Amino acid sequence: MEIRVLRYFLAVAREQSVTKAAARLHISQPTLSKQIKDLERELGKRLFVRGNYDMRLTDEGALLRKRAEDILAMVDRTAAEFASLDDFVGGDISIGCAETDGIKYLAQCVGKLQRERPGVRLHLYSGDTEDVTLRLDQGLLDFGVLVESADLGRYNGLVLPFTDILGVSMREDSPLAQKEVIQKEDLLDLPLICTRQSLRTSLLSWFGEEVDSLNIAATFNLSYNSKILVQEGLGYAISLNKDLFDTNPNTGLCFRPLYPRLESKMYLVWRKFQAFTPAAKALFEEIQKAYGEGKETGP
């Protein structure tokens, strides 16, 4: 299975047409059709259902599309890394990050680096801890920014100087909106919306044994959609501080911190024994200069 053929396959999958894909790839339609048929023969599976006007992926084709996207992302990243080895003024840096206002500390370091090296490009991927660490393990990211401590057997990390406060985001017409802080007893019978990882970490310690009796109405990994759920009355979201959740007057929402106070630190992590590109190494050095005292463990 050749890399070139996987690119051809993805082009047909995206265009849903051999004709359109051939035009985009600047090759002839018969050549592209033959490549796709040869790929199906090699795999022993039909990859497309061919209609009168378009081509749709089969279940096997959908599986190959996901695998091909992952393979080509790694191939392209590897090529970019080698191309940037001698590039001391530019290069790509890929960072996976949780939704946290504390990303501004990282942005300050990136901004300083880009003023010195205008060719540096930052690529951000938003996700929760599971999403980010998966992409780190796949080699698709240089760094991850997490709001919970990662497995230091697998990663190195810095503690960044920012702490998120956890609280409850709710509609302004909620009875709980009259309170200044929210205690555990206030939430035990209410429909709650929270992240999946928080049920295994921060909320587990905060609620204690009663975490198993909570009424979990919904879970989320990124906060924007949870805001919609709260606005529509599905429940109360346990989320990070109000600056992140956007509780300005136009949303009809408000934020109240948990009591006892529950905080979440911010971590920059990377794989152990990772070989950094010049651009990633330069950013790491900027971060070390700014926040090196918060280092948990080193490369």
More confident residue, 9 or 246: 9
Q: How far is Cα 13 from Cα 252, in angstroms, rounded to an integer?
A: 42
Q: Where are the beta strands (DSSP E) in the chain?
A: 48-50, 55-57, 90-97, 119-126, 143-146, 155-165, 167-171, 191-195, 215-220, 236-239, 253-257, 263-271, 295-297
Confidence label for 147 from pLDDT (cuts 50, 70 and 90): confident
Q: How far is Cα 132 from Cα 97, in angstroms, rounded to an integer?
A: 7
Q: How far is Cα 79 from Cα 84, in angstroms, rounded to an integer?
A: 9
pLDDT of residue 245: 59
What percentage of the chain reaches a pLDDT higher than 70? 91
Residue linked to tokens 């996976």 = 96
Confidence label for 297 from pLDDT (cuts 50, 70 and 90): very low
Give the 3-state secondary structure of residue 6: helix
pLDDT of residue 88: 59
* pLDDT digits 0-9 by tens, 177-194: 999 999 999 999 999 999
Question: What is the average per-residue pLDDT within 154-177?
Answer: 90
- Distances in whole angstroms, Cα of residue 152 to Cα of each of 60, 269, 272, 287: 37, 9, 9, 19
Question: What is the average per-residue pLDDT within 40-44?
Answer: 92
* pLDDT digits 0-9 by tens, 213-227: 899 999 988 777 888
Diameter over CA atoms, the chain: 70
For 222: left if phi > 0, alpha if psi spans -120 to 50, otherwise beta; the answer is beta
**pLDDT of 299 higher than 60:** no
Confidence label for 249 from pLDDT (cuts 50, 70 and 90): low
What one-character DSSP code corresponds to residue 231? H
If you compute the radius of gyration of the chain from its CA atoms, what whole number of angstroms results? Answer: 24
Q: Where are the beta strands (DSSP E) in 58-146?
A: 90-97, 119-126, 143-146
Residue linked to tokens 């996700």 = 127
* pLDDT digits 0-9 by tens, 93-139: 999 998 888 888 889 999 999 998 888 999 999 888 888 998 998 88
Confidence label for 84 from pLDDT (cuts 50, 70 and 90): low
pLDDT of residue 235: 94
Cross-strand pairs, 90: 119
- Of residues 72, 75, 15, the one with CA closest to residue 36: 15
For 35: left if phi > 0, alpha if psi spans -120 to 50, otherwise beta; the answer is alpha
More confident residue, 247 or 52: 52
- Distances in whole angstroms, Cα of residue 293 to Cα of each of 103, 159, 265: 18, 9, 15
Q: How far is Cα 132 from Cα 130, in angstroms, rounded to an integer?
A: 6
pLDDT of residue 27: 92
**How many Cα atoms occupy the beta-carbon half-sphere of 166 within 13 Å?**
24
Q: How far is Cα 75 from Cα 119, in angstroms, rounded to an integer?
A: 22
- Using DSSP bridges, classify how beta strands 90-97 and 119-126 pair: parallel, antiparallel or unpaired: parallel
**pLDDT of 13 higher than 60:** yes
Amino acid at 135: R
- Of residues 291, 277, 285, 269, the one with CA closest to residue 121: 277
What percentage of the chain reaches a pLDDT higher than 90? 42
